[in-house]
Amino acid sequence: MKQINDTIPGRSFLLQKVKRDGVTLPEVEIKEVTVLAHPTMTKKSDLRKYERLVYNLKKVYPYAFMVRKKLNKVNEDLMNVKSEKERKDYLRSVEKNIFAQYEGDMRDMTITQGRLLIKLIDRETQNTSYILIKEYRGKVAAAFWQGIARIFGTNLKEEYDPYGADVLIEYIIQEIEAGRL
């Protein structure tokens, strides 16, 4: 008689043997699971704000992700640069290419989308936009762009707080990454 497996196809795990305190135990690595409550909207205005935030995040999140990838590549390339002049020339050329490629998209963003992008850049790179500008362009450029941002009511030094003020943003991003939004 044939035995029926009780496992779901494609959902089997290989147990590893791990020795702890002289005892060999089976162990399986399980991915981290985050459980969040779905936000409840009691007012229509709250629902509209939520839907607007989802729309803005869907528009801005790919740019934050792209910033992380480009920043990693630039840092990788800078490891091979020997002189300060080569470094400046390389950064100038990268900046020129980025402006040529994304300037139109950035100019089409709303102030709200710009604020979200600043937060998401901090989320993706673990550095505020101010620190990134200061590191790659210098203190004067960072102070200049911080002044411009302040005129528009934004702060380049603003940090992303996934467990505080930005918990709803974090929830929406996780839903986007999971493919549910």
- Range in 24-33, 126-135, 159-168 with the lowest mean pLDDT: 24-33
Which pLDDT score, from 0 to 100, does residue 84 have? 85
Q: Is the pLDDT of residue 8 over 60?
A: no
pLDDT digits (tens, 9 = 90+) for 31-73: 777 676 777 778 888 889 999 999 999 999 999 989 899 888 8
- Each residue of 98-153: pLDDT tens digit? 888 888 888 899 989 989 999 999 999 898 999 989 988 889 999 999 999 999 88
Could you give the 3-state DSSP secondary structure of residue 25?
strand
pLDDT of residue 4: 59
Least confident of 1-5, 83-87, 140-144: 1-5
Using alpha carbons only, give the angle 111, 75, 69 rounded to the nearest 5 degrees. 50
- Label residue 149 left, alpha or beta by phi (over 0 means left) and psi (-120 to 50 means alpha): alpha
Domain boundaries, the chain: 48-177
For residue 50, give the nearest of 171, 142, 137 by alpha carbon: 171
pTM score: 0.73
Q: What is the pLDDT of residue 5?
A: 55
Position 175 confidence tier, pLDDT thresholds 50, 70, 90: confident
Q: What is the pLDDT of residue 11?
A: 62
**Per-residue tokens: 19:** 């020795």
Residue 75: burial class (beta carbons within 10 Å; 0-12, 13-18, 19+): exposed
Residues 6+ apart with CB under 8 A from 6: none
